[in-house]
Homo-oligomer: A and B are copies of this chain.
Amino acid sequence: MNAINYQFKLAARPQGSVKASDFHHVTEQLRELQDGEVLIKNLYISLDPAMRGWMSDNKNSYMPPVALGEVMRALAVGEVVESNNPKFAVGDHVSGMLGVQEYAYSDGKAISKVDPKLAPLPLYLSTLGMPGMTAYFGLLEVGQPKEGDTVVISGAAGAVGTIVGQIAKIKGARVVGIAGGADKVRYLTEELGFDAAIDYKSEDVAAALKQHCPDGIDVFFDNVGGEILDAALANLAFGARVVICGAISQYNNTTAIKGPSNYLNLMVKRATLRGVMVSDFYPRAMEAAMVMGGWIMSGKLKSREDIVDGLENFPDTFQKLFTGENNGKLILKVTKA
* Contact B244 A263, beta carbon cutoff 8 Å: yes
Residues of chain B lying within 8 A (CB to CB) of residue A273: 263, 266, 272-274
Within 8 A of B (CB), among A234-257: 234, 244-245, 247, 256-257
Contact for A275 among B247, B256, B271, B280, CB less than 8 A: B271
Q: How many copies does the complex hold?
A: 2
- Decide: A261 near B268, CB < 8 A? Known: A234-B60, A274-B273: no
23 contacts between A and B (CB under 8 A): A60-B265, A60-B268, A244-B263, A245-B267, A257-B261, A257-B263, A258-B259, A258-B261, A259-B259, A259-B260, A259-B261, A259-B263, A260-B260, A263-B273, A266-B274, A267-B274, A268-B277, A270-B274, A270-B275, A270-B277, A270-B280, A271-B274, A272-B272
Interface check A29, CB cutoff 8 A: no
CA distance A262 to B259 in the complex (A): 7
Please pick, from B234, B270, B275, B280, the residue contacting A266 in the complex, using a CB distance under 8 A: B275
Produce 1/0 per residue, A50-93, CB < 8 A to B.
00000000001110000000000000000000000000000000
CB distance from A47 to the nearest CB of B (A): 20
Beyond A60-B265, A244-B264, A259-B262, 9 additional pairs, beta carbon < 8 A: A60-B268, A62-B268, A230-B259, A244-B263, A257-B261, A257-B264, A258-B259, A268-B275, A270-B274
Q: Nearest chain-B residue to A272 (Cβ)?
A: B274
